[in-house]
Chains A and B, each alone.
Chain A
Amino acid sequence: MNVVNDLRKTIKKLLAEKKIDLFVGWEKGSLPMAATPIFITNEDEADRIVFDITCGNNLSVYFTKDKKQFADKKVGIAVKGCDARSVVLNILEKQIDRANVVMVGVPCHGVLDKKKVLAKTDGREVLELIDGGDTVTLKGNGYELSSDRSEILSSSCLSCIYPDAQEYDIFVGEPRGEVPNENRLKEIKEFEAMSTSEKWASTRAEYEKCIRCYACRNVCPSCYCNVCFVDQNDPAWIGNTCDFTDSMVFHIIRNLHVAGRCVECGACERACPMDINLLLLNRKVAMEVKDRFGDVAGLDINGKPAMVDFREDEKQDFIMG
Protein backbone atom coordinates (compact mmCIF):
# COMPACT_ATOMS: atom_id res chain seq x y z
CA MET A 1 0.00 0.00 0.00
CA ASN A 2 1.37 3.35 -0.92
CA VAL A 3 -0.59 6.11 0.72
CA VAL A 4 1.03 8.93 -1.18
CA ASN A 5 0.35 7.36 -4.60
CA ASP A 6 -3.22 6.60 -3.67
CA LEU A 7 -3.66 10.12 -2.39
CA ARG A 8 -2.28 11.61 -5.60
CA LYS A 9 -4.55 9.40 -7.69
CA THR A 10 -7.56 10.37 -5.62
CA ILE A 11 -6.88 14.06 -5.96
CA LYS A 12 -6.26 13.80 -9.68
CA LYS A 13 -9.59 12.12 -10.06
CA LEU A 14 -11.41 14.70 -7.97
CA LEU A 15 -9.90 17.54 -9.97
CA ALA A 16 -10.44 15.82 -13.28
CA GLU A 17 -14.08 15.14 -12.50
CA LYS A 18 -14.50 18.72 -11.29
CA LYS A 19 -15.65 17.47 -7.91
CA ILE A 20 -13.36 20.09 -6.42
CA ASP A 21 -11.99 23.38 -7.66
CA LEU A 22 -9.00 23.38 -5.38
CA PHE A 23 -7.06 20.97 -3.25
CA VAL A 24 -5.12 21.79 -0.11
CA GLY A 25 -2.45 19.33 0.94
CA TRP A 26 1.24 19.13 1.66
CA GLU A 27 4.32 19.08 -0.56
CA LYS A 28 7.96 18.51 0.22
CA GLY A 29 9.36 21.60 1.86
CA SER A 30 12.66 23.29 1.25
CA LEU A 31 13.75 22.05 4.64
CA PRO A 32 13.70 18.29 5.22
CA MET A 33 11.81 18.48 8.49
CA ALA A 34 8.75 20.42 7.36
CA ALA A 35 6.42 19.74 4.49
CA THR A 36 4.70 22.89 3.29
CA PRO A 37 1.12 23.47 2.26
CA ILE A 38 0.29 23.15 -1.40
CA PHE A 39 -2.75 24.59 -3.17
CA ILE A 40 -3.47 22.96 -6.49
CA THR A 41 -6.17 23.48 -9.05
CA ASN A 42 -4.66 21.43 -11.81
CA GLU A 43 -4.46 17.64 -11.73
CA ASP A 44 -0.96 17.75 -13.20
CA GLU A 45 0.29 19.28 -10.00
CA ALA A 46 -1.02 16.40 -7.92
CA ASP A 47 2.25 14.48 -8.14
CA ARG A 48 3.82 17.05 -5.88
CA ILE A 49 1.55 15.99 -3.02
CA VAL A 50 3.26 14.17 -0.16
CA PHE A 51 2.17 12.77 3.15
CA ASP A 52 4.58 11.71 5.90
CA ILE A 53 5.85 12.46 9.36
CA THR A 54 6.74 16.01 8.37
CA CYS A 55 3.17 17.03 7.48
CA GLY A 56 2.41 18.76 10.74
CA ASN A 57 0.44 21.74 9.49
CA ASN A 58 -3.24 21.67 10.33
CA LEU A 59 -4.52 22.79 6.96
CA SER A 60 -7.95 23.79 8.15
CA VAL A 61 -6.49 27.13 9.24
CA TYR A 62 -6.70 28.20 5.62
CA PHE A 63 -10.49 28.16 5.87
CA THR A 64 -10.59 30.52 8.83
CA LYS A 65 -7.58 32.76 8.75
CA ASP A 66 -8.39 34.06 5.32
CA LYS A 67 -12.05 33.46 4.72
CA LYS A 68 -12.11 35.05 1.28
CA GLN A 69 -9.53 32.72 -0.18
CA PHE A 70 -11.90 29.76 -0.43
CA ALA A 71 -15.12 31.68 -0.85
CA ASP A 72 -17.52 30.01 -3.28
CA LYS A 73 -15.00 27.30 -4.11
CA LYS A 74 -15.39 23.62 -3.68
CA VAL A 75 -12.29 22.69 -1.73
CA GLY A 76 -10.69 19.33 -1.22
CA ILE A 77 -8.54 19.04 1.85
CA ALA A 78 -6.23 16.34 3.15
CA VAL A 79 -6.95 15.66 6.78
CA LYS A 80 -5.24 13.79 9.57
CA GLY A 81 -7.40 12.94 12.57
CA CYS A 82 -6.88 16.28 14.27
CA ASP A 83 -7.24 18.24 11.04
CA ALA A 84 -10.56 16.56 10.36
CA ARG A 85 -11.81 17.55 13.79
CA SER A 86 -10.83 21.14 13.07
CA VAL A 87 -12.77 21.07 9.85
CA VAL A 88 -15.81 19.63 11.61
CA LEU A 89 -15.58 22.25 14.31
CA ASN A 90 -15.32 24.98 11.73
CA ILE A 91 -18.37 23.56 10.01
CA LEU A 92 -20.27 23.69 13.32
CA GLU A 93 -19.09 27.25 13.74
CA LYS A 94 -20.37 28.29 10.33
CA GLN A 95 -16.89 29.00 9.01
CA ILE A 96 -17.06 26.21 6.44
CA ASP A 97 -20.02 25.00 4.45
CA ARG A 98 -20.05 21.20 4.57
CA ALA A 99 -21.35 21.10 1.02
CA ASN A 100 -18.30 22.98 -0.21
CA VAL A 101 -15.62 20.81 1.27
CA VAL A 102 -14.39 17.35 0.34
CA MET A 103 -12.50 15.83 3.23
CA VAL A 104 -9.83 13.37 2.16
CA GLY A 105 -8.67 11.35 5.14
CA VAL A 106 -5.09 10.12 5.33
CA PRO A 107 -3.79 7.58 7.85
CA CYS A 108 -1.62 9.40 10.35
CA HIS A 109 1.18 7.86 12.38
CA GLY A 110 2.18 11.06 14.05
CA VAL A 111 4.08 14.16 13.03
CA LEU A 112 7.45 15.24 14.25
CA ASP A 113 8.34 18.07 16.53
CA LYS A 114 11.31 19.92 15.04
CA LYS A 115 12.49 20.96 18.47
CA LYS A 116 12.70 17.35 19.57
CA VAL A 117 14.62 16.38 16.44
CA LEU A 118 17.13 19.14 16.99
CA ALA A 119 17.54 18.01 20.55
CA LYS A 120 18.45 14.59 19.16
CA THR A 121 21.02 16.04 16.78
CA ASP A 122 22.33 18.48 19.37
CA GLY A 123 21.18 21.33 17.20
CA ARG A 124 22.94 20.14 14.08
CA GLU A 125 21.08 20.82 10.84
CA VAL A 126 19.15 17.88 9.44
CA LEU A 127 19.60 17.48 5.70
CA GLU A 128 17.72 14.28 5.17
CA LEU A 129 15.11 12.42 7.06
CA ILE A 130 14.11 8.84 6.31
CA ASP A 131 10.88 7.60 7.80
CA GLY A 132 11.41 3.95 8.59
CA GLY A 133 8.31 3.38 10.64
CA ASP A 134 9.30 2.68 14.22
CA THR A 135 12.69 4.28 13.66
CA VAL A 136 13.51 7.43 11.82
CA THR A 137 16.93 8.08 10.33
CA LEU A 138 18.33 11.59 10.51
CA LYS A 139 21.23 12.61 8.30
CA GLY A 140 23.25 15.77 8.28
CA ASN A 141 26.72 17.08 7.65
CA GLY A 142 28.97 14.42 8.93
CA TYR A 143 26.49 12.50 10.96
CA GLU A 144 23.73 9.95 10.67
CA LEU A 145 21.69 8.72 13.54
CA SER A 146 18.45 6.91 14.05
CA SER A 147 15.79 7.67 16.60
CA ASP A 148 12.78 5.89 17.97
CA ARG A 149 9.84 7.39 16.23
CA SER A 150 8.17 8.14 19.56
CA GLU A 151 11.11 10.24 20.69
CA ILE A 152 10.70 12.83 18.00
CA LEU A 153 6.90 12.90 17.69
CA SER A 154 4.94 15.96 18.65
CA SER A 155 3.58 15.61 22.18
CA SER A 156 0.09 15.99 20.72
CA CYS A 157 0.66 12.75 18.77
CA LEU A 158 1.86 10.86 21.80
CA SER A 159 -1.46 11.40 23.51
CA CYS A 160 -3.58 11.09 20.38
CA ILE A 161 -6.49 8.64 20.26
CA TYR A 162 -8.04 9.77 16.99
CA PRO A 163 -5.14 9.57 14.52
CA ASP A 164 -7.52 9.21 11.60
CA ALA A 165 -10.42 11.33 10.43
CA GLN A 166 -13.72 10.25 11.93
CA GLU A 167 -15.60 12.44 9.47
CA TYR A 168 -14.46 12.26 5.84
CA ASP A 169 -15.72 11.93 2.30
CA ILE A 170 -12.89 9.78 0.99
CA PHE A 171 -10.33 7.89 3.01
CA VAL A 172 -7.06 6.80 1.52
CA GLY A 173 -6.58 3.41 3.07
CA GLU A 174 -8.54 2.03 6.02
CA PRO A 175 -9.51 4.52 8.70
CA ARG A 176 -8.98 3.54 12.31
CA GLY A 177 -11.55 4.62 14.87
CA GLU A 178 -10.60 5.45 18.41
CA VAL A 179 -7.16 4.01 19.12
CA PRO A 180 -6.53 3.16 22.76
CA ASN A 181 -3.60 5.02 24.25
CA GLU A 182 -2.79 4.22 27.84
CA ASN A 183 -0.41 7.14 28.14
CA ARG A 184 -3.00 9.61 27.08
CA LEU A 185 -3.57 11.22 30.45
CA LYS A 186 -0.30 10.23 32.12
CA GLU A 187 1.30 13.63 31.98
CA ILE A 188 -1.85 15.37 33.23
CA LYS A 189 -2.26 12.94 36.10
CA GLU A 190 1.36 13.37 37.11
CA PHE A 191 0.97 17.12 37.10
CA GLU A 192 -2.24 16.87 39.11
CA ALA A 193 -0.47 14.81 41.71
CA MET A 194 1.74 17.76 42.65
CA SER A 195 0.92 20.15 45.44
CA THR A 196 -0.65 23.48 44.62
CA SER A 197 2.65 25.29 45.21
CA GLU A 198 4.57 22.85 43.06
CA LYS A 199 2.02 23.24 40.30
CA TRP A 200 2.30 26.99 40.51
CA ALA A 201 6.09 26.90 40.49
CA SER A 202 6.02 24.75 37.41
CA THR A 203 3.36 26.83 35.64
CA ARG A 204 5.16 30.03 36.49
CA ALA A 205 8.48 28.71 35.23
CA GLU A 206 6.87 27.71 31.94
CA TYR A 207 4.81 30.79 31.31
CA GLU A 208 7.40 33.30 32.42
CA LYS A 209 9.11 32.38 29.19
CA CYS A 210 6.26 33.82 27.14
CA ILE A 211 7.28 36.79 25.01
CA ARG A 212 3.75 37.46 23.77
CA CYS A 213 4.66 36.75 20.15
CA TYR A 214 1.24 35.11 19.62
CA ALA A 215 2.67 32.38 17.40
CA CYS A 216 0.47 29.94 19.32
CA ARG A 217 -2.61 31.92 18.41
CA ASN A 218 -1.58 32.52 14.84
CA VAL A 219 -1.22 28.83 13.99
CA CYS A 220 -4.31 27.73 15.90
CA PRO A 221 -7.12 26.54 13.62
CA SER A 222 -9.66 27.55 16.28
CA CYS A 223 -8.36 31.11 16.59
CA TYR A 224 -9.98 33.19 13.91
CA CYS A 225 -11.48 36.24 15.60
CA ASN A 226 -11.22 39.34 13.43
CA VAL A 227 -9.50 41.09 16.30
CA CYS A 228 -8.10 38.91 19.07
CA PHE A 229 -9.24 39.93 22.54
CA VAL A 230 -5.67 40.81 23.52
CA ASP A 231 -5.51 43.30 20.68
CA GLN A 232 -8.78 44.98 21.57
CA ASN A 233 -9.00 48.30 23.31
CA ASP A 234 -12.21 50.14 24.23
CA PRO A 235 -12.21 48.37 26.56
CA ALA A 236 -8.81 46.77 26.92
CA TRP A 237 -9.37 43.19 28.01
CA ILE A 238 -5.93 42.55 29.43
CA GLY A 239 -2.66 44.39 29.67
CA ASN A 240 -0.63 44.09 26.52
CA THR A 241 2.64 43.77 28.37
CA CYS A 242 5.08 41.02 29.20
CA ASP A 243 4.07 41.33 32.83
CA PHE A 244 3.83 37.75 33.95
CA THR A 245 0.23 38.01 35.19
CA ASP A 246 -0.85 39.54 31.89
CA SER A 247 0.79 36.70 29.97
CA MET A 248 -0.67 34.11 32.28
CA VAL A 249 -4.17 35.57 32.03
CA PHE A 250 -3.79 35.68 28.26
CA HIS A 251 -3.00 31.98 28.21
CA ILE A 252 -5.78 31.10 30.66
CA ILE A 253 -8.36 32.99 28.66
CA ARG A 254 -7.03 31.63 25.37
CA ASN A 255 -7.39 28.18 26.83
CA LEU A 256 -10.97 28.90 27.80
CA HIS A 257 -11.68 30.36 24.38
CA VAL A 258 -10.64 27.08 22.82
CA ALA A 259 -12.34 24.96 25.51
CA GLY A 260 -14.43 22.36 23.74
CA ARG A 261 -12.89 23.61 20.50
CA CYS A 262 -9.26 22.59 20.80
CA VAL A 263 -8.57 19.48 18.73
CA GLU A 264 -5.17 18.98 20.37
CA CYS A 265 -3.32 19.19 17.07
CA GLY A 266 -0.31 20.62 18.91
CA ALA A 267 0.35 23.34 16.34
CA CYS A 268 0.65 25.94 19.10
CA GLU A 269 3.27 24.05 21.00
CA ARG A 270 5.30 23.27 17.88
CA ALA A 271 5.13 26.93 16.92
CA CYS A 272 6.19 28.30 20.28
CA PRO A 273 9.68 29.79 20.00
CA MET A 274 10.09 29.70 23.77
CA ASP A 275 9.32 26.02 23.99
CA ILE A 276 6.43 26.47 26.44
CA ASN A 277 4.54 23.32 27.31
CA LEU A 278 1.35 24.90 25.99
CA LEU A 279 -0.57 21.77 25.18
CA LEU A 280 -0.66 20.56 28.75
CA LEU A 281 -3.29 23.13 29.70
CA ASN A 282 -5.26 22.57 26.52
CA ARG A 283 -5.31 18.87 27.16
CA LYS A 284 -6.36 19.37 30.76
CA VAL A 285 -9.31 21.47 29.59
CA ALA A 286 -10.17 18.93 26.90
CA MET A 287 -10.10 16.23 29.56
CA GLU A 288 -12.54 18.18 31.72
CA VAL A 289 -14.80 18.80 28.74
CA LYS A 290 -14.81 15.08 27.96
CA ASP A 291 -15.32 13.99 31.57
CA ARG A 292 -17.97 16.50 32.43
CA PHE A 293 -19.87 17.01 29.23
CA GLY A 294 -18.98 13.84 27.33
CA ASP A 295 -17.83 16.00 24.47
CA VAL A 296 -14.77 15.75 22.24
CA ALA A 297 -14.14 18.77 20.05
CA GLY A 298 -14.91 18.23 16.39
CA LEU A 299 -15.92 14.59 16.69
CA ASP A 300 -19.64 14.87 16.14
CA ILE A 301 -20.73 16.82 13.11
CA ASN A 302 -24.33 16.65 14.27
CA GLY A 303 -23.57 17.76 17.81
CA LYS A 304 -23.46 21.11 19.50
CA PRO A 305 -20.11 22.58 20.54
CA ALA A 306 -19.60 21.83 24.23
CA MET A 307 -19.52 25.36 25.56
CA VAL A 308 -22.88 26.34 24.10
CA ASP A 309 -24.66 23.20 25.18
CA PHE A 310 -25.83 22.00 28.58
CA ARG A 311 -27.61 19.20 30.35
CA GLU A 312 -29.70 20.00 33.37
CA ASP A 313 -28.25 17.24 35.51
CA GLU A 314 -24.59 17.94 34.84
CA LYS A 315 -21.93 17.26 37.44
CA GLN A 316 -21.46 20.37 39.57
CA ASP A 317 -18.93 19.27 42.14
CA PHE A 318 -17.28 22.70 41.98
CA ILE A 319 -20.35 24.44 43.38
CA MET A 320 -20.13 25.22 47.09
CA GLY A 321 -22.23 22.76 49.10
Chain B
Amino acid sequence: MSEWQPKILAILCNWCSYAGADLAGVSRMQYPPNIRVVRVPCSGRVDPLFIMKSLQSGFDGVLVSGCHPGDCHYISGNYVARRKFAVLKPLLEFIGIEPNRVQFSWISAGEGERFATVVTKITEDVRKLGPSTRLVKKL
Protein backbone atom coordinates (compact mmCIF):
# COMPACT_ATOMS: atom_id res chain seq x y z
CA MET B 1 0.00 0.00 0.00
CA SER B 2 1.70 3.14 -1.11
CA GLU B 3 -0.69 5.84 -0.02
CA TRP B 4 -1.54 6.25 3.64
CA GLN B 5 -5.13 5.29 4.35
CA PRO B 6 -6.88 6.62 7.43
CA LYS B 7 -8.62 4.17 9.70
CA ILE B 8 -11.85 5.36 11.22
CA LEU B 9 -14.02 3.79 13.87
CA ALA B 10 -17.77 4.23 13.49
CA ILE B 11 -19.99 3.55 16.48
CA LEU B 12 -23.55 3.19 15.20
CA CYS B 13 -26.84 2.72 16.96
CA ASN B 14 -28.64 -0.44 15.99
CA TRP B 15 -32.02 0.94 15.04
CA CYS B 16 -31.28 3.91 12.80
CA SER B 17 -27.69 4.47 11.81
CA TYR B 18 -26.72 0.82 11.51
CA ALA B 19 -29.88 0.29 9.47
CA GLY B 20 -28.88 3.29 7.34
CA ALA B 21 -25.51 1.64 6.75
CA ASP B 22 -27.32 -1.53 5.73
CA LEU B 23 -29.47 0.43 3.31
CA ALA B 24 -26.40 2.05 1.82
CA GLY B 25 -25.04 -1.45 1.25
CA VAL B 26 -28.25 -2.87 -0.16
CA SER B 27 -28.48 0.14 -2.46
CA ARG B 28 -24.87 -0.52 -3.54
CA MET B 29 -23.81 2.99 -2.64
CA GLN B 30 -20.04 3.21 -2.82
CA TYR B 31 -18.12 4.96 -0.07
CA PRO B 32 -14.51 4.88 1.12
CA PRO B 33 -13.50 1.59 2.77
CA ASN B 34 -11.86 3.27 5.75
CA ILE B 35 -14.48 2.81 8.43
CA ARG B 36 -14.83 -0.03 10.89
CA VAL B 37 -18.29 -0.30 12.35
CA VAL B 38 -19.16 -1.16 15.93
CA ARG B 39 -22.82 -1.69 16.62
CA VAL B 40 -24.35 -0.58 19.92
CA PRO B 41 -28.02 -0.63 20.89
CA CYS B 42 -28.34 3.13 21.09
CA SER B 43 -26.18 6.21 20.82
CA GLY B 44 -27.08 6.64 24.49
CA ARG B 45 -24.82 3.65 25.18
CA VAL B 46 -21.77 5.56 23.95
CA ASP B 47 -19.47 6.59 26.75
CA PRO B 48 -17.06 9.38 25.75
CA LEU B 49 -14.34 7.06 26.96
CA PHE B 50 -15.08 4.79 23.98
CA ILE B 51 -13.95 7.62 21.73
CA MET B 52 -10.87 8.34 23.78
CA LYS B 53 -9.87 4.67 23.87
CA SER B 54 -10.27 4.39 20.12
CA LEU B 55 -8.03 7.39 19.56
CA GLN B 56 -5.51 5.94 21.97
CA SER B 57 -5.47 2.62 20.14
CA GLY B 58 -4.64 4.41 16.92
CA PHE B 59 -7.82 5.10 14.99
CA ASP B 60 -7.31 8.24 12.95
CA GLY B 61 -10.90 9.30 13.37
CA VAL B 62 -14.07 8.38 15.20
CA LEU B 63 -17.64 8.74 14.02
CA VAL B 64 -20.58 8.30 16.36
CA SER B 65 -24.02 8.19 14.82
CA GLY B 66 -27.50 7.76 16.26
CA CYS B 67 -31.13 8.29 15.40
CA HIS B 68 -32.33 11.77 14.55
CA PRO B 69 -33.80 13.70 17.49
CA GLY B 70 -37.26 12.30 18.08
CA ASP B 71 -36.55 8.98 16.34
CA CYS B 72 -34.82 7.17 19.17
CA HIS B 73 -35.99 3.58 19.54
CA TYR B 74 -35.42 4.00 23.26
CA ILE B 75 -37.39 7.27 23.42
CA SER B 76 -34.66 9.60 24.63
CA GLY B 77 -31.31 7.80 24.45
CA ASN B 78 -30.03 10.05 21.70
CA TYR B 79 -30.89 13.15 23.73
CA VAL B 80 -28.83 11.79 26.61
CA ALA B 81 -26.03 11.08 24.14
CA ARG B 82 -26.31 14.51 22.56
CA ARG B 83 -25.50 16.29 25.82
CA LYS B 84 -22.40 14.17 26.25
CA PHE B 85 -21.19 14.90 22.74
CA ALA B 86 -22.11 18.57 23.08
CA VAL B 87 -19.56 18.81 25.86
CA LEU B 88 -16.95 16.38 24.59
CA LYS B 89 -16.62 17.88 21.12
CA PRO B 90 -15.78 21.45 22.21
CA LEU B 91 -13.53 20.12 24.96
CA LEU B 92 -11.48 18.07 22.51
CA GLU B 93 -11.20 21.03 20.18
CA PHE B 94 -10.22 23.23 23.09
CA ILE B 95 -7.30 21.07 24.12
CA GLY B 96 -6.06 20.98 20.56
CA ILE B 97 -7.43 17.76 19.05
CA GLU B 98 -8.17 18.48 15.40
CA PRO B 99 -11.90 19.26 15.17
CA ASN B 100 -12.56 16.78 12.36
CA ARG B 101 -11.05 13.75 14.07
CA VAL B 102 -14.14 13.09 16.11
CA GLN B 103 -17.50 13.69 14.50
CA PHE B 104 -21.13 13.06 15.32
CA SER B 105 -24.11 12.57 13.05
CA TRP B 106 -27.74 11.52 12.97
CA ILE B 107 -28.59 9.00 10.28
CA SER B 108 -32.00 7.36 9.95
CA ALA B 109 -32.83 3.88 8.74
CA GLY B 110 -33.97 5.39 5.47
CA GLU B 111 -30.86 7.46 4.86
CA GLY B 112 -28.51 5.10 3.06
CA GLU B 113 -27.24 7.91 0.92
CA ARG B 114 -26.65 10.11 3.91
CA PHE B 115 -24.64 7.34 5.50
CA ALA B 116 -22.44 7.14 2.40
CA THR B 117 -22.08 10.92 2.35
CA VAL B 118 -21.19 11.13 6.02
CA VAL B 119 -18.60 8.36 5.73
CA THR B 120 -17.12 9.96 2.65
CA LYS B 121 -16.91 13.29 4.39
CA ILE B 122 -15.25 12.08 7.57
CA THR B 123 -12.83 9.96 5.55
CA GLU B 124 -11.80 12.93 3.45
CA ASP B 125 -11.64 15.18 6.50
CA VAL B 126 -9.37 12.74 8.31
CA ARG B 127 -7.28 12.11 5.22
CA LYS B 128 -6.58 15.83 5.06
CA LEU B 129 -5.51 15.83 8.69
CA GLY B 130 -3.09 12.98 8.16
CA PRO B 131 -2.35 10.23 10.67
CA SER B 132 -3.54 10.79 14.19
CA THR B 133 -0.67 11.42 16.58
CA ARG B 134 -1.90 13.47 19.47
CA LEU B 135 -3.56 10.88 21.64
CA VAL B 136 -2.16 7.68 20.19
CA LYS B 137 -0.65 5.52 22.85
CA LYS B 138 2.58 4.12 21.51
CA LEU B 139 3.67 1.03 23.35
Do A and B touch each other in the complex, judged by CB within 8 A? yes
Number of residues on chain B facing chain A (CB within 8 A): 39
Q: Which one of A192, A252, A260 contacts B92 once the chains associate, using CB atoms below 8 Å?
A: A252
Could you tell me if A293 and B137 are in contact, using CB atoms closer than 8 angstroms?
no
Could you tell me if B86 and A237 are in contact, using CB atoms closer than 8 angstroms?
no
Enumerate chain B residues within 8 angstroms of A198, measured Cβ to Cβ.
Answer: 96
- In the docked arrangement, what's the CA distance between A260 and B118, Å? 30
Residue interface mask A203-238, B partner, CB < 8 A = 1: 110000000000000000000000001000000011
Could you tell me if B97 and A318 are in contact, using CB atoms closer than 8 angstroms?
no
- In the docked arrangement, what's the CA distance between A307 and B84, Å? 7
- In the docked arrangement, what's the CA distance between A204 and B95, Å? 8
Enumerate chain A residues within 8 angstroms of B31, measured Cβ to Cβ.
Answer: none
Could you tell me if B90 and A319 are in contact, using CB atoms closer than 8 angstroms?
no
Could you tell me if A245 and B56 are in contact, using CB atoms closer than 8 angstroms?
yes
Could you tell me if A249 and B52 are in contact, using CB atoms closer than 8 angstroms?
yes
Could you tell me if A249 and B56 are in contact, using CB atoms closer than 8 angstroms?
yes
Enumerate chain B residues within 8 angstroms of A202, measured Cβ to Cβ.
Answer: 96
Enumerate chain A residues within 8 angstroms of B90, measured Cβ to Cβ.
Answer: 284, 288, 318
Enumerate chain A residues within 8 angstroms of B97, measured Cβ to Cβ.
Answer: 196, 200
Query: A: which residues have CB within 8 A of B?
Result: 191-192, 196-204, 229, 237-239, 243, 245-246, 248-249, 252-253, 255-256, 259-260, 281, 284-285, 288-289, 292-293, 306-310, 312, 314-316, 318-320
- A307-B84, A310-B82, A320-B122 given. 9 additional CB < 8 A pairs? A200-B97, A246-B137, A248-B135, A255-B91, A285-B87, A288-B86, A310-B79, A318-B86, A318-B90
